[in-house]
């Protein structure tokens, strides 16, 4: 699970059309960084869920780190603006004994820790 850091600031500073451009930009970076068998899903607001088929939490953390760096090093061009953003990530294994909501909660708790401890990072362990 990942979240664009300080996304409200983008909307407040540049407007909601710029925020939409940032969402599209980030979605393109996410989609271009994962395999064809994986999936990226918007999870409300500025959050995304990335599902990596047959990947361990360690492998997911490596992918998340590549995405984090790609987003951080990219620029979203909107009108005459060059907007830069960063992202925070929480990685977790899917446990088939848990509900979808419980699995999402595990990743979300790690995402929350990434944001609470400075943002622009990947947390994959408790």
**Which residue in 1, 11, 35, 34 sits closest to 85, CA to CA?**
11
- Could you read off the pLDDT of 78-108 as tens digits, one per residue? 999 999 999 999 999 999 999 999 999 999 9
* Residues linked to residue 121 through DSSP beta bridges, in sequence order: none
- Distance, in Å, from the CA atom of 90 to the CA atom of 100, rounded to the nearest integer, reads 16
Taking the C-alpha atoms of residue 10 and residue 65, their distance in angstroms, rounded to an integer, is 22
Q: Is 46 a catalytic site residue?
A: yes
Q: Which domain holds residue 38?
A: 2-123
- CA-nearest of 2, 88, 12 to 44 is 2
Instruction: In whole angstroms, give the CA distance from residue 93 to residue 54.
Output: 10
Predicted TM-score of the model (pTM): 0.94
Query: Length of the chain, please?
Result: 126
Total of domains in the chain: 1
> Which residue in 46, 47, 53, 65 is the catalytic one?
46
Q: What is the pLDDT of residues 110-125, one digit of tens each?
A: 999 999 999 999 999 9
What does the pLDDT look like over 10-55, one tens digit per residue?
999 999 999 999 999 999 999 999 999 999 999 988 999 999 999 9
Q: Which two tokens stand for residue 122?
A: 């990947």
Q: Which residues, other chains included, contact 37 with Cβ-Cβ below 8 Å and sequence gap of 6+?
A: 53
Domain harbouring 111, CATH code: 3.30.70.270
């Amino acid at each position: 699970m990942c979240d664009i850091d300080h996304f409200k600031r983008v909307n407040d500073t540049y407007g909601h059309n710029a925020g939409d451009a940032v969402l599209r930009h980030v979605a393109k970076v996410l989609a271009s960084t994962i395999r064809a068998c994986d999936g990226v899903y918007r999870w409300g607001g500025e959050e995304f869920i990335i599902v990596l088929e047959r990947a361990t939490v360690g492998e997911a953390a490596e992918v998340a780190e590549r995405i984090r760096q790609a987003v951080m090093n990219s620029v979203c061009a909107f009108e005459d603006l060059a907007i830069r953003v960063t992202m925070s990530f929480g990685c977790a294994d899917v446990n088939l004994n848990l509900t979808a909501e419980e699995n999402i909660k595990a990743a979300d708790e790690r995402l929350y820790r990434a944001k609470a401890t400075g943002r622009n990072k990947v947390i994959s362990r408790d």
